[in-house]
Amino acid sequence: MSDLLILNGHLVDPANRIDAPRDLLVRDGRVAAVEKPGALAGVETVETIDASGLIVAPGLIDVHVHLREPGQTYKETITTGTAAAAAGGYTSVVAMPNTVPVNDTAAKLEWMLDPARGATVKLFAMPAATVGSMGIELTDFGALRAAGAVGFTDDGKPVLEDHVMRAALVAAARADVPVSQHAEDTRLTGGCSMNAGPMAFRLGLRGMPIEAEARIVERDIKLLREIERAEGLRPHLHVQHVSTTRAIDAIRQAKHEGLHVTCEIAPHHFALTEEAVGDYDTHAKMNPPLRAESDRARMVAALLDGTADCIATDHAPHAAFEKRQEFERAPNGITGLETALGLALRILHRGQNLPLSRIIELMSTAPAAITSLEGRGALGQGHFADLVLFDASAEWNFDANTSRSKSRNTPFDGAEMLGQVRYTICEGRIVHRV
């Protein structure tokens, strides 16, 4: 007897170039068979899902989330954050290390990944690149890699010093994982709380110039080039939450040159502009900040033309009392796990005619490849049965009050979404169903 049979759905599996009606059999948490409609008709199963009218795709993978545990469990826990992930169609998430304390040792990483934390979906982590994310001394990449690290990052901060970033890229290349960089030259952004420009001037807020992002991206690309030449290594730089035209142009150029650079774009950077700050709405405060319309349009173009590798949410929960204060004092970040697919489908698929297969590539196949998640991001036989089943034509409005996250800090409360998740299945278990 098999575990689960999914019938009558439309399978979108970019890795295997399938975009057609397929039935799918799940056994022991893995994909046991993918067949044309009717071929699996006689198989007996514990549960059968009628996926008529639904897209069946590899579960979404988010390479950039903040789950706040340990240390800030009033904002989010691994349990609540991964429940929000499941509701958003995600089957794997990669936790950032800026917890309290910072995730910078194998013991802390193992604690985080322990099933006792109650993760609903598959949890991975990128530990800190430097001890305490202080940007001075590298963490033990070998030990952390052995304990499960899928990359290294000081996210929330950049690795600022040239020689430290160079050493991090070299060590990560030897461990065969990326360095995931929060590209912000913090020497240019002290006291800043939104995008630099006329809007910031009018609001009397200090603005983050686009150079702050671009300079670090350009510096890191230069380091890649030097390391390839001098060390014979091929380091992988992953640029987080790209928000400016200048940074995306630098990445495009580096890819052209053959360097191993990947990047992510957050939904808010293709959905919103700095205008959303309005009269000091802290739900429009994040880092990097919302930019001008020309930058937003360029992020959309980068997702369309392939310069951008993936969509990542930068899910950053904060308690209401933290956001309900002076704009300059409020912390950066918004939640994003439950709104990413709905925004991507509405803005990129319907709005820009981006095919569904490319959306799945951006949200599952590519993130799996970036973090080398074995057996995920695709639905071939033997792969993990990580699946999302969604109605691609369902229109709905997001209601922050129904969020599974512990926090409600989103600018998308009430916003129109396209495509509703009906089932999220992680290693054969149904972790979310509507």
Partner 1 sequence: MQSVSEAASHRFRYASGSLLSAAHLSVTEVSTVLHETARISALAAADRASILRGRTIALLFYESSTRTRTSFELAAKSLGATTTLVSDKSSSIEKGESLKDTGLTLRALGAECIILRHSAAGAPFVLARETGLPVLNAGDGMHEHPSQALLDLRTILTRLYGLDRAHSVNEHTLDGVTVSITGDILHSRVARSNAMLLPRLGARVLLCGPERLLPEDALGLGPGVEIERDFDRALAKSQVAMMLRIQKERFAGLELDLDDYISRFQLNGERLAALAPKALVMHPGPMIRGLELTDEVADGSQSAIEEQVAHGLAIRSALLARALGAGAFERVRA
Q: Applying CB under 8 A, which residues contact partner 1?
A: 190-191, 196-207, 271-273, 275-276, 278-281, 283-284, 293, 296-297, 300, 321, 324-329, 347, 351-352, 411-415
Q: Please state the closest distance from residue 199 (CB atom) to partner 1, in A.
A: 7
| Active site residue ranges | 314
Q: Please state the closest distance from residue 414 (CB atom) to partner 1, in A.
A: 4
Nearer to partner 1, 82 or 282 (CB): 282
Q: Please state the closest distance from residue 382 (CB atom) to partner 1, in A.
A: 41
Q: Please state the closest distance from residue 268 (CB atom) to partner 1, in A.
A: 9
Nearer to partner 1, 250 or 300 (CB): 300
Q: Please state the closest distance from residue 329 (CB atom) to partner 1, in A.
A: 6
Nearer to partner 1, 123 or 284 (CB): 284
Q: Is the peptide bond before 235 cis (omega within 30 degrees of 0)?
A: no
Q: Please state the closest distance from residue 410 (CB atom) to partner 1, in A.
A: 10
Q: Residue written as tokens 């129904």?
A: 402
Q: Who's near 178: CB < 8 A, 6+ residues apart?
A: 151, 152, 172, 236, 237, 238, 262, 370, 371
